[in-house]
Amino acid sequence: MRLLKQVKNTTPGRFRNALEGKRIAATGRRGKFLIFHLEDKSALVVHLGMSGQVTYWDHAKDNDKSFAVDPVTGLQRSRSQHAPDKHTHALWHLDKGDRIQYRDPRQFGKLFYFEPGEMEGFKPLARLGMEPLDAAFRWPAFHKAMAPKRGMLKPLLLSQHPVAGLGNIYVDEALWLSRLHPRRRAESLDPNHWKALFRAIPKVLKQGLKHRGTTLMDFRNADGTHGGNQELLKAYGRAEEPCLRCRKSLKRIVVSQRATVYCPSCQRPPARLK
DNA sequence: AGTAATCCCTGGCAGC
DNA sequence: TGCTGCCAGGGATTAC
């Protein structure tokens, strides 16, 4: 296991020693950070980056020999549980021989260890915006956070600041659903536009969660048919395919260095961008 | 302040 | 079969 590069705020040795023998008291998530709260109030924090996977390995179960390739993203996923391989960077050995495994082919992921009280001062966590699946994600708070913002919608939504947890896929999906152009500027939106976005964000996330769960369960067929994957994503990965609202061809552009798919007909750009 | 470029990595794939 | 170039679910940092 190579545990060097992904540990960001301490040395691998300190990281290992700090975790040794500690019980996991609770698990949580904030934005794209996974948080393992340990019994002494210290914490292990994981960011999966683009290709990271945290999986549970049960000593009583067989390993899967191969990985399934996600038809949309091209990323390898284990169908059930896998043996550590050259991309497995950390193993946490639990009681009775089970393990938590961290695997990350592209190595954009990050691991952090925080002493009690330290995590609160961790900027990337502290400055995250509102949680779109929380009960506190309500229209007045959303509008208040968004209305003063300036700049293009796509980078604004990717920034994690007004709203946490959205990545490239779900930003494109939310913008498609709310009929907003990814390059449209925040200051040009009226409350109705913001309202559409406010409704779209939790919707695409919930659909993703629901869908991903079922896909993983269906994934025991080698390279077989997959559940509702194709129907779920309306924009991402569908460049040159017909818009599911208006049948016109979806278009791929690059916005803040990220691949972006949108419908030129439904998601009209502001006049300035034409 | 906003935004664009750059960098951190590896692997799959198309095209030659 | 093997090479090259391009692409990829993120985000911090640096440069303008």
Q: What is the pLDDT of residues A66-76, one digit of tens each?
A: 766 665 555 66
Footprint of strand C on the protein (CB under 7 A): A 31-32, 47, 49-51, 70, 73-75, 77, 106, 108, 124, 158, 160, 167-169, 212, 257-259
Helix (H, G, I), strand (E, B) or coil at A238: coil
Token code pair at residue A171: 């930003």
pLDDT, residue A76, reads 65
Q: What is the pLDDT of residues A162-193, one digit of tens each?
A: 999 998 989 999 999 999 999 998 989 999 99
Of A17-26, A83-92, A146-155, A255-264, where does the model show the most confidence? Answer: A17-26
| Burial call A77-111: b when 16+ CB within 10 Å, e when fewer | bbbebbebeebbbbebeeeeeebbbbbbbeeebbb
Query: For all residues of chain A together, what is the average pLDDT?
Result: 84
pLDDT band at A221 (very low <50, low <70, confident <90, very high): very low
In A52-98 the beta strands, taken as DSSP E runs, fall at: 53-57, 67-69, 76-78, 88-93
Measuring alpha carbon to C1', the residue closest to nucleotide B1 is A150
- Measured to protein CB atoms, the chain C nucleotides within 7 Å are 7-12
Residue A10: is its pLDDT beyond 50?
A: yes
- Measured to protein CB atoms, the chain B nucleotides within 7 Å are 1-13
Q: Which of A35-44, A57-66, A138-147 has the least mean pLDDT?
A: A57-66
pLDDT, residue A78, reads 65
Residue A272: is its pLDDT beyond 60?
A: no
Footprint of strand B on the protein (CB under 7 A): A 5, 69, 74, 76, 86-87, 105-108, 149-152, 155, 185, 256-257
Q: In terms of pTM, does the model score above 0.75?
A: yes
Which nucleotide C1' is nearest A47 CA?
A: C10
Token code pair at residue A208: 């993703």
In this prediction, residues A59-64 reach a mean pLDDT of 86
Strand order in the sheet with A110-114: A24-30, A33-38, A43-47, A110-114
CA–CA gap between residue A82 and residue A78 (Å, rounded): 6
Measuring alpha carbon to C1', the residue closest to nucleotide B6 is A257
Which nucleotide C1' is nearest A48 CA?
A: C10
Distance, angstroms, CA A79 to C1' B7?
32
Distance, angstroms, CA A172 to C1' C12?
22
Which nucleotide C1' is nearest A33 CA?
A: C10
